[in-house]
């Protein structure tokens, strides 16, 4: 089922992200992402989506300018953001030092084109940071059991971490690190979720591939162009015909 970010879907997603367990996931993702970006340096960071959720308040010392592109109004939040499609970014090629895709693939009409656009706007040596929901995680299994595939964010098209990493490796990226989040059941009660956190380390040990979400950090490899030899420098070798 497709789940494009219309204004109605955006409102539903925002509502889920401000309640348990979505709010707990955002706290963990935000802390990790800000720590990751603070170790990167550059002039421009492009964030594609979720500007109202990921404020990036702690990255000013490492990134000079943050640009946010949104696909629907409810997630825009304040001013200074651009409304556009992730499959057709209004950004000059090779102009961004960092591109951040916070769960952008799940709700894109064409996830591969979204990745290609991110690659296009990145400079050689630039970084792509990507968040995704795990289709085989504990949360995804819970939503299948409860038949809530039409609700946000479960109606999105989830891509596994391995799928994304394989695509990146085949399209000129080198994956530098990845991390999984939330080895916990899909619980709407904050108290219940906190009680389960005592068992999270054990769940991660026994179910290492079942985290609810993941982050991938990859660098765009620079293309090596080999100059052609100057044929004028070569003499003519006589041969018998």
> The CATH number of 7-222 is which of 3.40.50.150, 3.30.420.40, 3.90.1150.10, 3.30.450.30?
3.40.50.150
When pLDDT is cut at 50, 70 and 90, the band that residue 46 belongs to is: very high
User: 191, 232, 203, 219: which is closest to 24 by C-alpha?
Assistant: 191
Q: For position 39, what pLDDT does the model report? A: 87
| pLDDT at 59 > cutoff 80 | no
Q: How far apart are CA 2 and CA 155, in angstroms?
A: 7
When pLDDT is cut at 50, 70 and 90, the band that residue 237 belongs to is: very low
Beta strands in 106-224 (DSSP E): 122-133, 173-181, 213-220
Sign of dihedral through CA atoms 112, 115, 116, 117?
A: positive
When pLDDT is cut at 50, 70 and 90, the band that residue 227 belongs to is: low
Q: What's the chain's average pLDDT?
A: 84
């Amino acid at each position: 089922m497709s789940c494009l970010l219309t204004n109605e879907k955006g409102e539903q997603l925002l509502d889920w992200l401000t309640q348990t367990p979505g709010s707990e996931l955002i706290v963990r993702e935000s802390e990790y992402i800000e720590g990751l970006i603070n170790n990167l340096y550059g002039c421009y960071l492009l964030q594609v989506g979720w500007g109202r959720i990921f404020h990036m308040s702690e990255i000013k010392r490492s990134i000079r300018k943050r640009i946010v592109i949104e696909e629907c109004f409810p997630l825009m939040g304040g001013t200074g953001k651009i409304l556009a499609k992730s499959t057709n970014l209004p950004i000059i090629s090779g102009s961004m030092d960092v591109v951040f895709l916070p769960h952008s693939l799940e709700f894109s009409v064409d996830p591969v084109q979204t990745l290609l656009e991110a690659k296009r706007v990145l400079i050689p040596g630039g970084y792509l940071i990507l968040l995704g929901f795990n289709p085989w995680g504990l949360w995804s299994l819970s939503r299948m059991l409860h038949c809530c595939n039409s609700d946000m964010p479960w109606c999105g098209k989830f891509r596994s971490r391995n799928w994304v990493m394989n695509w990146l490796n085949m399209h000129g990226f080198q994956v530098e690190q990845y991390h999984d989040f939330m080895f916990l059941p899909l619980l709407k009660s904050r108290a219940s979720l906190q009680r389960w956190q005592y068992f999270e380390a054990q769940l991660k040990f026994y179910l290492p591939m079942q985290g609810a979400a993941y982050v991938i950090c990859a660098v765009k490899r620079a293309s090596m162009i080999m100059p052609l030899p100057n044929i004028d420098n070569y003499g003519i070798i006589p041969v018998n015909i």
